[in-house]
Structure 1
């Protein structure tokens, strides 16, 4: 039986797409919160192009295929998930809704997908994982920065492993924060009452610093492949993934240093503005990986067709951040569930309409690219 479209309604709003969720969720946030979550660095070029870059790829449909038993599931981080999407480690989620990361974890478990937990989580890794366990079976990963305080960095690693995390996602693109005009204009500070238990910061400590100065106080800009990867490897049996890769050269280094995977990411356009859109960086990273290291991607994914396109270009899985924040702001856990359900339904229909029975059927043959002279170029 064909599944009905996902429709979420709260008062008079009808949520049919991630665009709807962005509009209605953003409305519920005061300006300083909305700008923190939605904006990127300097001219917002990369934030914009992360999404628009998907538009040049076109889907090549196939007809008279029996897709009555189409299977969207795949294996990621040792867990069978309902479709190739996971939730990125986005920080300060309780600023969007009081339940924050707990609501996100429950929604992910209900949808049957994995979740990343930020070092800037407003709840501890133990609490977030427990919230997911109460609903279903899923995998969590712990996002990590290279810290000046190595003892605290090690405590985070040990806590994550003891709690059951499958991997460390080392954010490698942030020796400093990007130039974020909105944070400076708003003198952005994490609101009173929200703590950062993983980096051991209380509300009072947080309020005393801007987001930028607080980050600079604990983050190390002397990080390196030689120092950080062996150091982490010596302290955990969890997988090590490098988050923030945009070039073949860095994929090759991740292979050289024995990392299990990379996430092709530009930090949602929040770091260096004008970097390549992640979907455009993906092909060279997949080629450099050569099947020896896993490649995931995040940034700008707003539809199920975007997920399909990224898988066709070689990603094993996609990750989303802002759509989840919009869901939280809109209606907490229910809003996140609607976000994930919308993307699942769109992805499933896209698979079926392109004649794909399973995720492994998705390939470059399913895509073309728009050319200025008219005819669609085959990939």
Structure 2
């Protein structure tokens, strides 16, 4: 499949519209939906839209660069793909197409535990690959997945900590969502993965699968044990409380991801962007800080950088690109994001990513004598 209507794709939202038109309704609901009444899903975007940047002028931006490093690896921009399972749902090439596009764009691709191609094949695409781990009831299998990621050449390990079980995703329940026969969790050869293919009236087969597979007992001692059993840089994903982020840093995390799982877990959870500054202050440079949830443009990336993040994870837009045209669609997504970020940096008076940290932000009109909060660049 080639990218449809290329001439009409001028922003990431255009890829969303194409994806919504080509995907079956049940798959679209699975991709775009959140948990409960989707309050947090909507809040993620609203929080980003409230943030306003205060650009600087009379700075030389003739050589404006989006390049940076993430976990010690060079990246073309401060972006990595978020871990998303079952990408074959939106395109037959699934994660292979996304990994290829990420490699060409020069950013890390995150392989999910529930990827629809095995980690070895995805990592074999040749780019910088991170592996995301869900903590399983079968601890031996958890560490087997870690070993496989290490052997496959993954550059980092990302432990997701906010899914003791799957949140109540009402769209999936109403659709009695089930995996088609040609889509599976390819990193599992045997076991309860087949539950994801058995329809449940008024329920989600994927929720049933995760409740059978994921360990709700995951705790800080498990994180410490994992840290001691892998030499890979360790990312802890799914933190919102600054105290949890500080403790993760104390446990040896190399990075944390401030995240409410894209509004798909606790409905009513705070948007990550709203606690980002507090998390950055809590870890105090002991680890890198990434954020996800509602990132839809280069301006959104710049807002995250201005609030202290080292980078962002990009989730649903990757699926939109894949649905719109496989590798071509994912390439176009990342091309657009890079162009938007460079444009935003330059127009804000930043010649590079590191200068974004000096930008001031506000969340609404200032009254006379009121501080902007993050008084920088004085």
Q: Place the TM-score, normalised by the shorter chain, in its bin.
A: over 0.9
Distance across 1 between alignment mates of 2:227 and 2:23: 40
Q: Does 1:310 find its partner at 2:299?
A: no
Cα 1:342–1:12, aligned 2, differ >3 Å: closer, same or farther? closer
1:249 to 240, 243, 248: 243
Contact 1:368 1:376 (8 Å CA) reproduced: no
Distance across 2 between alignment mates of 1:44 and 1:377: 33
Contact 2:71 2:254 (8 Å CA) reproduced: no
Q: Which residue of 1 aligns with 2:178?
A: 189
2:87 to 83, 89, 93: 93
In the TM superposition, what are the counterparts of 1:258-337 in structure 2 within 5 Å? 258-337=252-331
Distance across 2 between alignment mates of 1:14 and 1:172: 39
Distance across 1 between alignment mates of 2:178 and 2:3: 32
Deviations 1:266-307, CA, capped at 9 Å, x for gaps: 000000011111110111100101111211111100110000
Give 4+ residue runs of structure 1 displaced > 6 Å after superposition. none
Q: Which residue of 1 aligns with 2:13?
A: 19
Distance across 2 between alignment mates of 1:22 and 1:306: 16
Contact 2:136 2:215 (8 Å CA) reproduced: yes
What is the RMSD of the two structures over their aligned residues, measured on CA atoms?
1.9
Distance across 2 between alignment mates of 1:11 and 1:105: 23
Distance across 2 between alignment mates of 1:158 and 1:12: 41
Which SS does the other structure have where 1:234 is aligned?
helix
How far is the alpha carbon of 1:313 from its aligned partner? 0.4
Which SS does the other structure have where 1:10 is aligned?
coil
1:217 to 212, 215, 232: 212
Contact 1:142 1:160 (8 Å CA) reproduced: yes
How far is the alpha carbon of 1:199 from its aligned partner? 2.9
Q: Which residue of 2 aligns with 1:42?
A: 36
Distance across 2 between alignment mates of 1:84 and 1:232: 26
Contact 2:96 2:122 (8 Å CA) reproduced: yes
Cα 1:186–1:235, aligned 2, differ >3 Å: closer, same or farther? same
Cα 1:372–1:192, aligned 2, differ >3 Å: closer, same or farther? farther
- Count of matched residue positions in the alignment of Structure 1 and Structure 2: 366
How far is the alpha carbon of 1:17 from its aligned partner? 1.2
Q: Which residue of 2 aligns with 1:3?
A: none
Deviations 1:232-289, CA, capped at 9 Å, x for gaps: 1333211221100001110111022121111000000000011111110111100101
Which SS does the other structure have where 2:318 is aligned?
helix
Distance across 2 between alignment mates of 1:176 and 1:313: 31
Contact 2:71 2:288 (8 Å CA) reproduced: no
Contact 1:74 1:359 (8 Å CA) reproduced: yes
Q: Does 1:152 find its partner at 2:141?
A: yes
Distance across 1 between alignment mates of 2:102 and 2:3: 20
Distance across 2 between alignment mates of 1:201 and 1:313: 44
Q: Does 1:119 find its partner at 2:108?
A: no
Unmatched segments (≥5 aa) in structure 2? 200-204
2:159 to 156, 159, 170: 170
How far is the alpha carbon of 1:359 from its aligned partner? 0.9
